Each structure stands twice: as structure tokens, then as C-alpha cells.
Amino acid sequence: MISCFMNIEIQNAGLKDLSSLRQLEEICFPLDQWPLIDLIGVLTLPGIIRKKAVQGERFIGFIAGDVRKREGVGWITTIAVSPDYRGLGIGKKLLSICEVEMNIPKILLSVRKSNQAAINMYLNSGYYQKEIWESYYNGGEDGIVFEKRR
């Protein structure tokens, strides 16, 4: 659990977080970094819930949820927590806050088949395995699509 003594807060993210987000993505997604244009998009486009975890001025986590109201579906498009702050409940907190703000009955996401920490977090948070996307990721690794109904 996040200890209140750590002064970690979850806040809305925006374009001013671009360089922090870029650094976080470089560390957390060595094989799947988004191009700069996608990072700008996730921080600015309408219909996206974007939240950051901060400790003071330090940017330590991020999540984005793309809400497709007409389809009744939302996609968690990215979630990452800085390595020094993992295992403290920040990922789970970001996920639950994003889910609430997405306010949509069905939430989907994809994850590398080998990413056991993330898979455990999703299973732990009420997601179930929906399908496999073969060779979806860079390098040919399969993706697992998880779904949650709310």
C-alpha cells in the first residue's frame, strides 16, 4: 500500500509532463517506447484520461485510458511506475483511479506474455484473459488482451 508518509499523490497529467513521461517510458519500456508524437498525443488529445503519480516534484508513474464512448469500451494504453517506486501499490492505485474516471462498462488492455508483474496486477485488479494477439509486440512476442467489466 502507498504509505501516507511517502507523500505520493495521483494528479491529472498534461503537456508540461512531456519530458518526464519520455524519461519514464525510456526506462520502463526499453522495447516498446512510443514515438514523441504519440507521447504528445496521449498528453493532449480529447477523450483520454491521463494521470500521473508524483512525490513532490518527482514524476514517478503514469497511466492513460482511451475512452471510446460510442463503442462502450475503454483501453488502458499505457501504465508505468518508476523502478525505484515499484511494489508499493502505485500501479494498482493508478489503475483503479483511471478505471473510475473512464466511467465505461468494458475496459481492455494488452500486455506482453512475459510481463508477469503487470499480468499479476491485472489479475489482482479484476481483469481476465480475453484473447492472445500472436507476435503483436516488437521482437515477435505474443500479447495477451485482458478485459474487465465494471
The contact set with ligand COA (CB under 6 A) reads: 28, 79-81, 86-92, 111, 115-118, 120-121, 124
Q: How far is the CB of 131 from ligand COA (least distance, A)?
A: 15
- 79 phi-psi bin (left φ>0, alpha ψ -120 to 50, beta other): beta
Q: Which is nearer to ligand COA, 12 or 116 (CB)?
A: 116
Q: Which is nearer to ligand COA, 33 or 70 (CB)?
A: 33
Task: Give the integer Cα–Cα distance in Å for 148 and 124.
Answer: 11
Task: Give the integer Cα–Cα distance in Å for 146 and 148.
Answer: 7
Q: How far is the CB of 115 from ligand COA (least distance, A)?
A: 5
Residue nearest to ligand COA (CB): 91
Would you call 129 helix, strand, or coil by DSSP? strand
